[in-house]
């Protein structure tokens, strides 16, 4: 009997357990993807670009045997199952709040045809490990120890030839994948993901622990978008991580941890996980909106913040250290709700992922699972001097400062076309601490 393989956040053919499950017993497999208007409408243009390029590549690797349809999955997946007479629909498990609701609706609409979940986008799936009393971990460090002890399987031995693919030509309801040009600054798809990982593992992984906080150095992996869309599985990457690569492995663990937190506390997508900290005083109104607009435009007068925001606007990516600095500035210097920044990042980032993004913002704001950072207010000037010592990153993204010798001490050297600081950091730091102390 034929089966359906419904691709979602697993746009690859290698290391794909659900593919092997769909193809077992020599079943013919229809590969499909559903362009859900609820997701395409909520995705920024850069994520859509990555999605479409990845779908084009996936279809090419399947010699055209990928059916793309448009509509709600609870309508399209049962329809396709009926069209080919599928006895099962195979997926990789989705643990996000939206994904779980969608899959429940599809399962009900399939009316007896099983929806079979095999594997997930994570090394250790949400719910797989817990504390001794059975409750989920709320702090990263003990979670990380348990995560390491639990371990994960070897990559699945799948590939383009793992199934007898059904040719979708002539099947009703297919739609064209939007045509988007390739972009060298935003390579997409499985081949780009594996190439990028091999390059990073060979050249920059050995120095990752010492250089990862330097936005002026091209030493980060740039794998976040590939992981977001599943064009590579973290198992494939973990094979190259030995005991000397603990710093990078911790980043993969954070990805699993935040997915776990969102799984157990789905309301934390837009509400502060720490409800006590949710009551902090924040600014609103026209003045707050003007501050927010200056932040999004990279016109705050703080060079490292502006460099990061302009990198984001121009490329859909921002270095992780700079993300923390920019986020701290929004919530602790401008006193704006973390949700404003999280929503902007999701709109702009190619790698925008609800679990990582929202809980990263809450970590900075001090209202997430690890509460200690509530009193930590990044000084954007000292942060810039520490992690971009020569100012190369700042000069690249803030051309107004290209001719300035010391971008960290502008003083009278501040160009007329570059704005003065929109706030006094020292004053706003004290104000932020005052607001936090009111809660404690």
Residues of the binding site = 208, 220-224, 248, 251-258, 351-353
Q: Provide φ and ψ at 164, rounded to 5°.
A: -90, 100
The tokens of 324 are what? 């923390």
Contact in structure between 155 and 233 (CB atoms under 8 Å): yes
Say how far apart CA 347 and CA 47 lie, in whole Å. 9
Residue 225, CA atoms < 13 Å, CB-side half-sphere: 29
Say how far apart CA 225 and CA 43 lie, in whole Å. 13
Question: Helix or strand or coil: residue 351?
Answer: coil
Residues within the annotated binding site for FAD?
Answer: 208, 220-224, 248, 251-258, 351-353
Say how far apart CA 342 and CA 327 lie, in whole Å. 9
The residues pairing with 90 across neighbouring beta strands, listed in sequence order, are 5, 116
Contacts for 362 with CB less than 8 Å, ≥ 6 apart: 268, 272, 273, 274, 338, 368, 369
Q: Is 116 exposed, middle or buried (0-12, 13-18, 19+ CB in 10 A)?
A: middle
The tokens of 252 are what? 């993969």
Please provide the DSSP assignment of 22-91 as one string: HHGGG-EEEEEEEE-HHHHTTS-HHHHHHHHHHHHHHHHHTTT--EEEES-HHHHHHHHHHHHT-S-EEE
Please provide the DSSP assignment of 100-150 as one string: HHHHHHHHHHTTTS-EEE---SSSS-TTS---TTSPPP-SHHHHHHHHHHH
Say how far apart CA 307 and CA 295 lie, in whole Å. 11
The tokens of 230 are what? 């599943």
């Amino acid at each position: 009997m034929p089966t359906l393989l419904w691709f979602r956040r697993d746009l690859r053919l290698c290391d794909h357990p659900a593919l092997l499950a769909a193809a077992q017993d020599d079943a013919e497999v229809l590969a499909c993807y559903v362009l859900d208007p609820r997701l395409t409408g909520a995705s920024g243009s850069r994520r859509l670009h990555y999605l479409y390029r990845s779908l084009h590549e996936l279809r090419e690797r399947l010699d055209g045997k990928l059916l793309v349809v448009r509509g709600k999955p609870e309508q399209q997946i049962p329809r396709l199952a009926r069209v080919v007479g599928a006895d099962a629909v195979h997926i990789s498990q989705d643990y996000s709040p939206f994904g779980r609701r969608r899959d429940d609706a599809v399962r009900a609409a399939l009316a007896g045809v099983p929806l079979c979940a095999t594997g997930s986008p994570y090394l250790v799936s949400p719910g797989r490990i817990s504390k001794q009393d059975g409750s989920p971990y709320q702090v990263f460090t003990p979670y990380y120890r348990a995560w390491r002890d639990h371990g994960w399987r070897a990559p699945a031995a799948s590939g383009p030839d793992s199934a007898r693919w059904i040719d979708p030509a002539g099947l009703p309801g297919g739609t064209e994948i939007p045509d988007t040009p390739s972009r060298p600054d935003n390579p997409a798809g499985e081949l780009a993901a594996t190439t990028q990982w091999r390059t990073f593992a060979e050249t920059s992984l050995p120095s990752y622990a010492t250089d990862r906080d330097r936005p002026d150095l091209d030493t980060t992996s740039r794998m976040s978008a590939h992981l977001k869309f599943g064009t590579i599985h973290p198992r494939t990457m973990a094979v190259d991580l030995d005991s000397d690569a603990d710093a990078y492995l911790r980043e993969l663990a954070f990805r699993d941890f935040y997915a776990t937190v969102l799984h157990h506390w789905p309301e934390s997508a837009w509400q502060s996980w720490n409800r006590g900290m949710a009551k902090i005083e924040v600014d609103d109104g026209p003045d707050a909106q003007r501050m927010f607009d200056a932040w999004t435009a990279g016109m705050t007068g703080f060079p490292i913040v502006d460099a990061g925001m302009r990198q984001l606007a121009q490329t859909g990516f921002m270095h992780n250290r700079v993300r923390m600095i920019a986020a701290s500035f929004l919530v602790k210097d401008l006193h704006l709700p973390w949700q404003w920044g999280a929503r902007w990042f999701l709109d702009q980032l190619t790698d925008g992922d609800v679990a990582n993004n929202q809980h990263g913002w809450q970590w900075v704001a001090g209202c997430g699972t690890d509460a200690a950072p509530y009193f930590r207010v990044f000084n954007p000037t000292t942060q810039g001097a520490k992690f971009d010592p020569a100012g190369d990153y700042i000069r690249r993204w803030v051309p107004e400062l290209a001719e300035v010798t010391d971008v960290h001490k502008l003083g009278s050297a501040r160009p007329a076309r570059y704005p003065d600081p929109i706030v006094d950091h020292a004053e706003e730091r004290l104000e932020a601490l005052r607001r936090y102390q009111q809660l404690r």
